[in-house]
Amino acid sequence: MTRRWGLQATMTATYVAVTAGVVLLTELVIFGVAALSPPTPLTRQAVQGLAQATAQGMTAKLDNVIGKLGTPKATQLDGDLTTGGGQVAAGQARPDGNGGVVIPRLTTAECDVASASFAVVVSRAGLVLASSYPACFPRGSHGSDAQQGVPRKVLSSFVRWAIQGGGQAPLPSGNVVWATAPITAGPGADQVKGAPSGAPSPTATGGAAGSGGATAVAMLYLEVPATAPGIGGVTVSPGLVRTGMVLLAAAIPVGLAFGLLSTRRLTRRLGRLAALTQQVGDGDFGLRVPVHGHDEVSRLEENFNRMAGQLQAWLDATRQLGAANARHEERTRIARELHDSISQELFSLNVLAGGLRRALPAKSPVLPQVEIMERTAGDTMREMRSLLLALRPVALEEADLPRALDGVCQAYRDRLGIPVRAEVDLAGLEADGLPPAVEHAMLRVTQEAVGNAARHADPARITVRLRGDRGQAVLEISDDGRGFDVAAPRHEEAGGLGLHTMRDRVAELGGLLTVQSAPGEGTTIRARFPLREAIVTGEAAVGEGVAGGGAAGSGVAGGGVAGSGVAGGGVAGQSITEEAR
Ligand X SMILES: Nc1ncnc2c1ncn2[C@@H]1O[C@H](COP(=O)(O)OP(=O)(O)OP(=O)(O)O)[C@@H](O)[C@H]1O
Contacts with ligand X by CB under 6 A lie at 452-453, 456-457, 479, 481-484, 491, 494, 496-499, 523
Closest separation in Å from C-beta 302 to ligand X: 43
- Of these partners, ligand X, Mg ion, none, which one is at the site of residue 304 (CB under 5 to 8 Å by kind)? none
- Of these partners, Mg ion, ligand X, none, which one is at the site of residue 580 (CB under 5 to 8 Å by kind)? none
- Of these partners, ligand X, Mg ion, none, which one is at the site of residue 427 (CB under 5 to 8 Å by kind)? none
3-state helix, strand, coil in the chain (%, to 5): 50, 15, 35
In order, the DSSP letters of 514-535 are EEEE-TTS-EEEEEEEE-HHHH
Cβ atoms 225, 115 nearer than 8 A: yes
Binding site for Mg ion (CB under 5 A): 452, 498
**Closer by beta carbon to Mg ion, 363 or else 490:** 490
Closest separation in Å from C-beta 317 to ligand X: 27
Closest separation in Å from C-beta 496 to ligand X: 2
Of 471, 469, 470, 477, nearest to 443 by C-alpha is 477
CA angle 539, 541, 544 (to 5 degrees): 150
Closest separation in Å from C-beta 413 to Mg ion: 19
Beta-carbon contacts of residue 572 (< 8 Å; ≥ 6 apart): 485, 486, 487, 488, 491, 515
**Closer by beta carbon to ligand X, 227 or else 523:** 523
Rounded CA-CA distance 518/576 in Å is 9
Which residue's Cβ has the minimum distance to Mg ion? 498
**Closer by beta carbon to ligand X, 491 or else 528:** 491
**Closer by beta carbon to ligand X, 440 or else 491:** 491
Closest separation in Å from C-beta 553 to ligand X: 24
Residues across the chain? 581
Of 534, 499, 527, nearest to 405 by C-alpha is 527
Cβ atoms 11, 263 nearer than 8 A: yes
**Alpha carbon 23 to its chain's center:** 25
Residue 538: enclosing H or E segment and its boundaries? none
Q: Where are the alpha helices (DSSP H) in 339-424?
A: 344-359, 367-391, 394-398, 401-416
Closest separation in Å from C-beta 453 to ligand X: 4
- Of these partners, Mg ion, ligand X, none, which one is at the site of residue 77 (CB under 5 to 8 Å by kind)? none
- Of these partners, ligand X, Mg ion, none, which one is at the site of residue 494 (CB under 5 to 8 Å by kind)? ligand X
Rounded CA-CA distance 279/85 in Å is 76
Residue type, 553: G
**Closer by beta carbon to ligand X, 561 or else 572:** 572
Rounded CA-CA distance 567/564 in Å is 6
Closest separation in Å from C-beta 394 to Mg ion: 20
| Residue 307 CB-half CA count within 13 A | 14
**Closer by beta carbon to Mg ion, 111 or else 502:** 502
Closest separation in Å from C-beta 497 to Mg ion: 7
CA angle 275, 277, 280 (to 5 degrees): 115
Rounded CA-CA distance 106/223 in Å is 13
Closest separation in Å from C-beta 293 to ligand X: 52
Rounded CA-CA distance 495/516 in Å is 20
- Of these partners, Mg ion, ligand X, none, which one is at the site of residue 453 (CB under 5 to 8 Å by kind)? ligand X
Closest separation in Å from C-beta 448 to Mg ion: 6
**Closer by beta carbon to ligand X, 166 or else 498:** 498
**Closer by beta carbon to Mg ion, 241 or else 488:** 488
**Closer by beta carbon to Mg ion, 103 or else 515:** 515
**Closer by beta carbon to Mg ion, 436 or else 498:** 498
